[in-house]
Structures are given as C-alpha cells and as structure tokens.
C-alpha cells in the first residue's frame, strides 16, 4: 500500500489514473476515495478536486447504469472530510462534518435512487405479506414505512462508514510517507470530545422536530461512535503492549458476532467520551511520563 501511495504522490496524472482505475473496478471505489483523500490532505483543495473529477466519471457510470450512487457519494464524502481535516487538523470537526453531510445524503437518497429503494421496499413488503397473510393492513403499512426508513438510514450510514474508512487509509498513507508513526498515535488517541457527543445527542433529539427521520440521525451518529470505539480498542492494546494477536482476536469476534460487538464498542466509545479511559490508564501507570 505504501508503494501505491508513493506512486500516487509522484504527480497529478498518476493520482488521477489510479483513482479512475480503482473507481472503475467493481467494489474498489473505496481505494480511489483514499487516493482523493491523500491528495487533498497533502496538496489541498484544487489538487484533490482535480483527482475527484476524474474518479467521479466511472462513479457516475455506476450510478446511471446500475442505479448505484454509492461510489459517487463516498468519493465526494471523502473529499469534503479531507478538506475539513486539512483545514482544522481536528477529527472532531471532521466527524461532525461527516455526520451533517451523511444526514443530507440520507434525506436525498429516496430521490437519488428511487427505483432501487422502491424495489427493495416492495420485495420486503411481499415477504411480510407472505409471512402474515391475515395481518392487519394498517399495521403492514406501518411496518413497510418503518422498513423504508431503516433501509435509507442504513444506506446513508454505510456510505459514511466507507468514507471514514477511506479517509483513515489516506491519513495512514500520509503518515507513512511524511510522518512515520504519526497515524498510530493519532488514531490511538481518537475519541469524541464531550462537546461533540453533546452536539450529537442534541441533534438526535431535535432533528425529528425539524422533520428529519430520527432513525436516520441515530444510525448515522453510531458511525463516528464506532470509529472512536475501534480507536479505543487499538489504543488500549497499544498502551498495554498486548501484541497483534489481541487485535486479530478482536476483529475475529467482530466478524463472528457482527453487529453485536460493534454495538458494545460504540457504547464504550460513548463512555470514553466522558471518562477518557486512556488518560486514566496513563495516570495510573507508574512508568508513564
């Protein structure tokens, strides 16, 4: 991966070519998004935008041809968050920007992919009817509406999660090339500040008052919590020098017990926002400092 990042940073042509090819290959658009993130973080808005323009061409092809806007949304999301991270050097502002943008994406998803949404809802509705032939029609309509809301929220949250993953990869590439070891320290210390957590909670409560679906805001808010929870796990294992086998075991549990483990991780991140487990560990460590 480091060699790929070094090749990308040779010049704008190399970066644009790699981003375009990665987006053209099915299910590899996240790598093209990481290229956009790296260029934006290192060289700024104009250079990142130039790479985005080339990468968005095959992404629009996927959208128009297969009714799949995922690649386009993730590419733009990474570019926007990389701009904020470069300008502020703050993951708090970056995560808040990602949440706001993803809520907007969730609001627009029914208009971005109306055929896909309607098809999936109709399929689910048919399954519900087959499972409960005598079910009350009004109750079935309510279930259909709830499923539609949950599906839209899941789409928006999954796009947000992929974009955050691509941005983290871009940040790690930047660290490997220009500041070795910096990303490990940065990621291990990542947590939601209490003010950021309070802002998310206020948004979850007030957004429905403004007409935004509450489940959309809640599920999207879980994404940065999950990322900070993963950072907490990495940070604790790193501080305790427990070794890579612990990380392997953790991600094995994530795969085997998905999504239960990630829910627990998100809850730990919520507590960590208030308690700051890693700072508490350092204060109790007689060898620290």
Sole residue written with tokens 């007689």: 286
Give residue 276's pLDDT: 86
Q: Quote the radius of gyration of the chain (alpha carbons, Å).
A: 21
The length of the chain in residues reads 289
- d(Cα 247, Cα 9) in Å, to the nearest integer? 30
CA dist 103 and 68 (Å) reads 18
44: left (phi over 0), alpha (psi -120 to 50) or beta: left
Cβ count near 126 (within 10 Å): 10
Question: Dihedral (C-alpha) 264, 29, 235, 39: value to the nearest 10 degrees?
Answer: -150
Give CB contacts under 8 A, 24+ apart, made by 175-182.
Answer: 176/2, 176/5, 177/2, 177/5, 177/6, 177/9, 178/42
Domain boundaries, the chain: 1-106+155-188, 193-282
Tokens of 178: 């220009």
Residue 129 is predicted with a pLDDT of 65
Q: What is the Cα–Cα distance from 113 to 104, expressed in whole angstroms?
A: 14
φ, ψ at 136 (rounded to 5°): -60, 130
What confidence score (pLDDT) does residue 210 get?
A: 86
> For residue 206, how many other CB atoms are within 10 A of its CB?
11
Q: Confirm if 79 and 101 have CB atoms less than 8 A apart.
A: no
**Cβ atoms 153, 106 nearer than 8 A:** yes
Cα–Cα distance between 263 and 60 in angstroms, integer?
A: 33
Q: What pLDDT shows up at residue 115?
A: 77
Sign of CA dihedral 123, 124, 130, 134: negative
Phi-psi bin for 27: left (phi > 0), alpha (psi -120 to 50), beta? left
What are the pLDDT tens digits along the chain (289 aa)? 889 999 999 999 999 999 999 999 989 999 999 999 999 999 999 999 999 999 999 999 999 888 889 999 999 999 999 999 999 999 999 999 999 999 999 999 888 887 777 777 777 667 666 665 555 555 566 777 778 888 889 999 999 999 999 999 999 999 999 999 899 999 999 999 999 999 999 999 998 888 888 889 999 999 999 999 999 999 999 888 888 899 999 999 999 998 889 899 999 999 999 888 888 776 565 554 4
Task: Tell me the C-alpha distance between 145 and 167, whole Å.
Answer: 33
∠ CA 151-156-161, rounded to 5°: 120
Both tokens of 247, joined, read 């990380």
Helices (H), the chain: 2-8, 12-24, 29-43, 45-66, 70-88, 91-112, 114-131, 137-178, 182-188, 194-206, 214-239, 244-256, 260-275, 277-284
pLDDT of residue 289: 44
């Amino acid at each position: 991966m480091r060699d790929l990042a070094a090749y990308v940073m040779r010049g704008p042509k190399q970066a644009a070519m790699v981003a375009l090819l990665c987006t053209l290959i099915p299910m590899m658009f996240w790598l093209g998004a990481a290229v956009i993130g790296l260029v934006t973080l290192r060289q700024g808005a104009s250079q990142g935008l130039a790479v985005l323009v080339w990468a968005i061409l095959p992404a629009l092809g996927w959208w128009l041809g297969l009714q799949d806007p995922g690649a386009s949304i993730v590419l733009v999301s990474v570019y926007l968050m990389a701009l904020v991270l470069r300008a502020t050097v703050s993951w708090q502002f970056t995560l808040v920007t990602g949440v706001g943008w993803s809520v907007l994406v969730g609001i627009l998803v029914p208009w971005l992919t109306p055929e896909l949404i309607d098809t999936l809802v109709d399929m689910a509705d048919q399954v519900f009817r087959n499972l409960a032939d005598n079910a009350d029609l009004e109750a079935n309509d309510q279930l259909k509406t709830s499923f539609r809301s949950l599906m839209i929220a899941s789409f928006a949250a999954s796009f947000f999660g992929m974009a955050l993953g691509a941005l983290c990869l871009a940040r790690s590439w930047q660290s490997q090339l220009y500041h070795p070891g910096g990303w490990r320290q940065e990621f291990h210390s990542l947590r939601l500040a209490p003010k950021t957590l309070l802002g998310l909670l206020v948004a979850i409560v007030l957004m429905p008052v403004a007409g935004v679906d509450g489940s959309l805001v809640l599920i999207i808010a879980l994404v940065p919590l999950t990322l900070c929870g993963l950072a907490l796990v990495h940070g604790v294992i790193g501080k305790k020098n427990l070794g890579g086998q612990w990380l392997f075991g953790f991600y094995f549990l994530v795969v085997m017990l998905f999504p239960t483990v990630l829910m627990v991780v998100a809850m730990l991140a919520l507590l960590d926002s208030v308690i700051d487990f890693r700072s508490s560990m350092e204060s109790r460590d007689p060898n620290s400092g």
